[in-house]
Structure 1
Amino acid sequence: MAEGKKYPLPTRAQLEAYIEQEGRTAGSLIAGFMLSTETVPWLEEAAERHPDDPRVSAMMLMVARGLKQPTDEWVRRMQENDPKNSLGWCNAALDAFKAGDVESGLDALEGAASRGRPHMYPQEISSEVTKACKSAGFDSLYAETLGMAHLPIGQISVLMELAQHMKTGPAEAKGPAIESLLALTQSLKKPTERAGLVEKLISSSIERTIVNSSEWYEEMPGLDMTAAELQERNSTERAATSALIKEHRRLLPTLSDTEMKQYLRRIAVEGEFNAMQWVVQTKGGNQ
C-alpha cells in the first residue's frame, strides 16, 4: 500500500454489524478497534467482557503505555493468561526500571529472556481484521492487505525503552541487562520463528545501542564474540536487510493476484521479512 495514500476502511456501522454477528468476541472487538477511524470504545468493551484474553491484555498494555496510564493490571493478566509470551515480563521489567527498582527489573528481564520473543498475536489479529473487512464487502485480496497493514507492534516500543534504561541505568545492572536484551534480540531474529521486518530492524538497533555503550574488547554474553565483532556482524546484517528491502520494493509490483495472496498469507504466518525473501527468491531470477 502506497505511503500517504488513504484507503477505504469499513464504516462504524459495518464494524458494529460484524462485531454483533460474531457475538462480540474479543477478536471481533479488537478488529473493530484496529480498523476504526473514530473514537469507539470497542477495546474498553473487550477489556470488560474478556479481561483474561491475552490478546486483550496485549492491546491494553500497548494503549496504556501510549497514554502513560497504569499498566499493573494488564501486566499481571498477561503473565497469568499467557506465561509463554515474554511480553508480560518485558512490560514488568520496564515498569520496575521506571520505578527505580533495578533488582525487580533485572529479574523480570531475565524472565522475559527465558521465554523468547515478545509478540502481539499477529496471526490472530490479522485474521480477525481480514474477516471484518470481508464482512464489509471488500474483496479477498484487499481484505487480506488490510489485515496485514493493521498489525499492532506494541512490543517494539517496550524493547526500545528497555535498551535505553540499560544504557542509562546503574553500572552494576548493565551486564545482566545486556545479557537478557541480547537473548531477546536473538529470539527476534530466529529463522525458524515468524520474522517481522520491524522486529529485525529493532533488534539491530538494540544491538547497536549495546555496542555503543560497551568497550570494543568486551565479551558479549551468550554470543561468544566481542562488542567489535558484534558491531561487524550487525553492519553486515543491516546492509543485507537494506538490499532486501530495495529489491523487494522493485519486485512487489510484478506479483500476480495469486502471488500477492500467497505473499500476504506468508506475511500473516511467517512475518514480513520471510515473505519479502520469498518475493525476491521467487521473482528475482525472472527479471
Structure 2
Amino acid sequence: MNAVELVPSVHSSEIVLPTLPPAVVENILRNAFVEDAPYGDITSATLLPASAVATAWLVAREPGIFSGGDVFTAAMTMTDPAARVEQLVADGTAFSAGQRLMSVTGLARGVLTAERIALNLTQRMSAIATQTAEYVKTLEGTNARVTDTRKTTPGLRVLERYAVRCGGGHNHRFSLSDAVLAKDNHLAVLTGGDPAKLTAALQSVRAQLPHTVHFEVEVDRIEQIEPVLAAGVDTIMLDNFSNEELVVGVAMVNGRALVEASGNVNLSTIGAIAATGVDIISVGALTHSVRALDLGLDIAIEA
C-alpha cells in the first residue's frame, strides 16, 4: 500500500505549515548553484539561444505527498527573475503518478540550469513528507505524536524539517541552541559515573535555566526514571526500552513529565510503541534514510 492510499491528503485547515524563511531558502540555493554551476551552465549557454523560452512541468513518476513548492519557485526565479512559476499541488497534499505538481515558463537557459537543483530538493522533501505521512497514519487512534530528530542533511535541516510538517509530523528541537537535552554521555560526565549524584546534578542544571528553556533528559534504564523526575525535568526520553519497559516507564512517570520513546523505531514497530502510552516518538528515519521520490521535469521549447 502506498502513501497516497494511506493518506488521501494531510493538507487541511487543521494543519498549519510553517513558512520557509525566504532568506534561508535563498542561501541554500545560492550555495547549491555555486556547487553545481560555479561559472555558469556551459552546456545551456553553448547549445541554447539566449532568447529561447521553455515551459516545463514538475511531474510525479510515482505517488506521494508534495513538499517544496517555494523551493522550486525560488530555484527557477534565481536563474531567471522573470520566470512565471505556478504551484499546481499544495504542499502537504497527496498526488498520483503522472500528476503535474508545478509549472514554469521562462528562459530555457534558466530553466535547465535550475532543473537539477530544483529536482534534487523537491524529490528529497517530498520523500520525507511521504514517509512521515505513513508514520502519522500508523499512529491514528493513539495520543502519540511523531517527531523528527537532528539526523538531517547538513545545511538542509530547515527544508527537511518543513517536509516533516508537510507529512503531518512534528519537529523536535531545531538545534543544540534551542533546548537542553541531556543524553547518556552528558550524564556520565556530569555525575562522574555515580548514579547517586544524578538528581542533585540535574537540579543544579535546572536552577541555571531560564523558565523558557525546555529541559529533557534521556534514560536507558528504568532505575534512572525516578532520580531524573525528581530534578523537575520537562520531558524524559526512554531510549531503546522494550515495549514492556515503556509501559512500566509511562506508569512511573504518571504525567509528571512528557514521555518520549526513541530507538529502534520503524513502520513495523511504531504502532506497538504508541500503544504503550508514550507522548512522543522520535524517528530519525524520517530524514536520515529516505529514498528520493521520483519526480521529473518535462519540458517544451517555444520559438
Higher gyration radius (CA): 2
TM bucket, shorter chain: under 0.3
TM-score w.r.t. structure 1 length? 0.22
Determine which structure has greater relative contact order: mean sequence separation of CA pairs < 8 Å that are 6+ residues apart, divided by chain length. 2
Give 1 or 2: higher strand fraction: 2
Give 1 or 2: higher helix fraction: 1
